[in-house]
């Protein structure tokens, strides 16, 4: 049994005021923007109310979407007066650029980021409200992990609400809320045990103390020793105003000091001094729990009332108060006590240094000297000519050379299938005894390496990144050192319930692929594509600007090109309509589920909602041939159009575009 699923990275669709998401939420204006996404004010057209839409950048394909839906599940568990309410979660856009949104309660007062210094009583009142929310979270075994001013929003009346559960972490061995293989945090607010990858409920109490201090002092507490003089600050590169460090050397220092756990409270916080000193103790056992912290803060808190207005440009990127970006990708230290720093702040880190904290050796990045970061960090860097030679000509590289059926034989009988899906793909069907068939699929992708994922291991020039396992699929991403535009994915997937160990199968296939890549250039296709094959066409050249005019606002000059030129996407700049033209191989299609027609002499089939609501697919049969299994197969052109329009209008657009593309094809 075969299935068609595209395994490629995701790039978010550009958005703008007036865009309608999921046919229901019209974007009004952007409220905030950060490293992991942005938040928009939107109008719910069905219920006539304002909502907040959190748009999340989901680099890393399925793993990125898993993180978003994990946050949705974490938020949906709670109905608390000091936790932002989640209404809905939606996914919209073309498959390779799909964008996910959390639809949440709109809190018109904005976040606490960028506020002027508050009186101690007001800050204590906010802190007590958030402590009440934390107590509810901790009762369910969930640690927020990234409490800071930017993740707390307030109403006009002064009610504070906790938001952004993207880093929520399950403790106590119960069901996972978000993947516990990585801990996310902001160093200036993180407890030392969080930096070491061991969050616990009292870690949030530490962060709350740091946040309340920042609300009064205008900056987070200083990590490490006493406050340096202005001259010392200038020499170190840290801004005297307490802002974030300007480069990755300072990022390294900030994280190191956060892991040490020493905190200097050098601002006058009045009656909060004793309360915050207890909340910010290095040892979690010496801190109050969330309920105790709430009571202590309430003793200092002023009566309810409005909070001073936000004093920053809402369209500016918020500074989380230390590092310029959230630190993500720190492996949890349940089995290993060696976290590795990742994220934009240390994208230039080249080596790792060992330093000692409290008798335990912790692995942290050295100050940068240029080059490519170590495994576990963001995988970036300039393209290396030597490594680039492993890929060679993209169109002639043979993906089937990276799959070895014999390496999978211990899981069942195997069958190599080089003639299914696009030309950048190869499959091995594994048939375990008395179990569901597993499709082991390898894809060559024109996508950047994932930035927020766990690097499992590096062997010579190849780093393997593990995506979170699912019940019916397990994926691995292979990244070549110094190659920033191409990745390789290996996926073991089944259509039906079964018992086969999908991740073991994916790892076995990955091991062979890594060995082959490390031997040198990927073997070439032998024989190559026949002259009449669609593989010799460039999908992006089949639709000219005039043809694309049938879709309002399409920018014909800005296509999103897929690997080998065998896939091309365009998107409207004035609406949410998108166009995806891709090549495919497989059994000859028929009219089932659609309508048969002919376009410029080619058989074609129009299928409304073939890829879900708000889509229409036109499938053009370009040529048929006998495949390696002596079966009749077809090369087809798929024209998919999607967006918030009636499906009959989408099908008219798709048919017009498919006809224009067919007119450009040579006769097979």
Where in the sequence numbering do the catalytic residues fall? 146
HSE of 310, CA atoms in CB hemisphere, 13 A: 22
Scan for tokens 């568990």, then name that residue: 77
Q: Going by C-beta distance under 8 Å and a sequence separation of 6 or more, which residues neighbour residue 161?
A: 81, 82, 83, 84, 105, 107, 133, 152, 153, 154, 155
- Measured CA distances, 12 to 59, 529, 571, 606 (Å): 8, 33, 11, 27
For residue 299, CA distances in Å to 118, 145, 270, 273 come to 17, 26, 13, 13
Residues composing the chain = 668
Distance separating alpha carbons of residues 188 and 150, to the nearest angstrom: 13
Helix (H) or strand (E) holding 567: strand 567-571
| Angle (deg, nearest 10), helices 201-217 and 290-300 | 20
**Of 288, 84, 329, nearest to 185 (Cα)?**
329
Neighbours of 370 (CB within 10 A): 9
Q: 527 preceded by cis ω (within 30°)?
A: yes
Give 637-663 as a DSSP string.
EEEEEESSS-HHHHHHHHHHHHHHHHH
Q: What does the H/E/C string look like for 195-227?
A: HCCCCCHHHHHHHHHHHHHHHHHCCCCEECCCC
Which uninterrupted H or E stretch holds 507? Answer: helix 502-519
Measured between alpha carbons, how far is 523 from 528 in angstroms, rounded to an integer? 11
CA distance 450 to 378: 8
Cα distance between the two ends of the chain: 29
- Three-state DSSP at 28 gives strand
Helix 120-139 with 201-217: angle, nearest 10 deg: 160
Phi (first) and psi of residue 252, to 5 degrees: -60, -45
Q: List, as one string, the DSSP characters of 243-298.
A: ---SSHHHHHHHHHHHHH--EE--S--GGGHHHHHHHT-SSGGGS--HHHHHHHHH
Angle between helices 120-139 and 290-300 (to 10 degrees): 160
- How far apart (Å, rounded) are the C-alpha atoms in residues 244 and 624? 61
Torsion of CA 128, 133, 134, 138, to 10 degrees: 140
């Amino acid at each position: 049994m075969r299935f068609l699923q595209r395994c490629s990275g995701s790039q978010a669709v550009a958005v703008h005021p007036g865009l309608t998401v999921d046919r229901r939420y019209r974007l009004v204006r952007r409220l905030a923007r950060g490293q992991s996404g942005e938040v928009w004010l939107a109008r719910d057209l069905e219920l006539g109310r304002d909502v907040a839409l959190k748009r999340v950048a989901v680099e890393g394909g399925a793993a990125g979407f898993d993180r978003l839906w994990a946050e949705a599940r974490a938020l949906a568990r709670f109905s608390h007066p000091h936790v932002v309410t989640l209404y809905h979660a939606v996914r919209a856009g073309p498959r390779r650029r799909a964008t996910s949104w959390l639809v949440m309660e709109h809190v018109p007062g904005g976040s606490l980021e960028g506020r002027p210094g508050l009186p101690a009583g007001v800050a204590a009142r906010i802190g007590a409200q958030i402590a009440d929310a934390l107590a509810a979270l901790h009762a369910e075994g969930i640690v927020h992990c990234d409490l800071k001013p930017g993740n707390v929003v307030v109403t006009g009346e002064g009610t504070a609400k906790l938001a952004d559960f993207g880093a929520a972490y399950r403790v106590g061995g119960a069901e996972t809320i978000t993947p516990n293989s990585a801990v996310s945090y902001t160093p200036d607010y993180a407890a030392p045990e969080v930096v070491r990858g061991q969050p616990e409920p009292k870690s949030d109490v530490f962060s709350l103390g740091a946040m309340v201090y920042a609300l009064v002092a205008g900056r987070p507490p200083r990590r490490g020793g006493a406050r340096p003089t202005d001259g010392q600050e200038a020499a170190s590169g840290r801004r005297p105003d307490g802002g974030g460090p300007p480069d990755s050397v300072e990022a390294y220092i900030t994280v190191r000091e956060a892991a040490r756990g020493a905190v200097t409270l050098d601002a006058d916080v009045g009656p909060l001094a004793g309360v915050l000193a207890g909340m910010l103790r290095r040892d979690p056992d010496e801190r109050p729990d969330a309920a105790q912290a709430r009571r202590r803060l309430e003793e200092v808190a002023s009566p309810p009332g409005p909070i001073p207005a936000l004093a920053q440009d809402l369209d500016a990127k918020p500074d989380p108060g230390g590092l310029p970006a959230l630190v993500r990708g720190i492996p949890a230290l349940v089995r290993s006590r060696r976290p590795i720093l990742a994220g934009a702040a240390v994208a230039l880190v080249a080596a790792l240094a060992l330093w000692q904290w409290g008798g335990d050796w912790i692995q942290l990045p050295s100050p940068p000297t240029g080059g490519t970061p170590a495994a576990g960090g963001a995988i970036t860097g300039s393209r290396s000519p030597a490594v680039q030679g492993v890929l060679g000509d993209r169109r002639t590289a043979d993906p089937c050379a990276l799959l070895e059926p014999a390496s999978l034989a211990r899981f069942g009988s195997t069958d190599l299938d080089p003639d299914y899906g696009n030309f950048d793909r190869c499959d091995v069907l594994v048939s375990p005894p008395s179990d569901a068939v597993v499709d082991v699929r390898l894809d060559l992708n024109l996508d950047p390496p994932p930035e927020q994922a766990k690097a499992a291991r590096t062997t010579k020039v190849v780093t393997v990144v593990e995506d979170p396992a699912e019940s019916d699929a397990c994926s691995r991403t292979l990244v070549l050192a110094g190659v920033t535009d191409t990745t390789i994915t290996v996926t073991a997937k089944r259509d039906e319930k079964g018992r086969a160990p999908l991740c073991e199968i994916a790892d076995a296939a990955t091991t062979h692929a890594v060995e082959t890549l490390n031997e040198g250039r990927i073997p070439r296709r032998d024989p190559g594509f026949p002259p009449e094959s669609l593989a010799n066409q460039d999908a992006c050249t089949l639709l000219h600007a005039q043809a694309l005019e049938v879709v309002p606002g399409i920018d014909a000059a800005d296509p999103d090109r897929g690997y080998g030129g065998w896939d091309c996407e365009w998107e409207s700049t004035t609406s949410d309509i998108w166009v995806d033209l891709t090549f495919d191989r497989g059994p000859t299609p028929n009219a089932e589920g659609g309508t048969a027609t002919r376009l410029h002499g080619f058989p074609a089939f129009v299928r409304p909602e073939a890829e879900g609501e708000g889509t229409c697919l036109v499938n053009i049969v370009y040529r048929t041939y006998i495949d390696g299994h002596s079966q009749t197969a077809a090369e087809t052109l798929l024209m998919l159009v999607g967006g918030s329009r009636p499906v009959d209008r989408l099908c008219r657009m798709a048919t017009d575009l498919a006809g224009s593309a067919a007119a450009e094809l040579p006769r097979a």
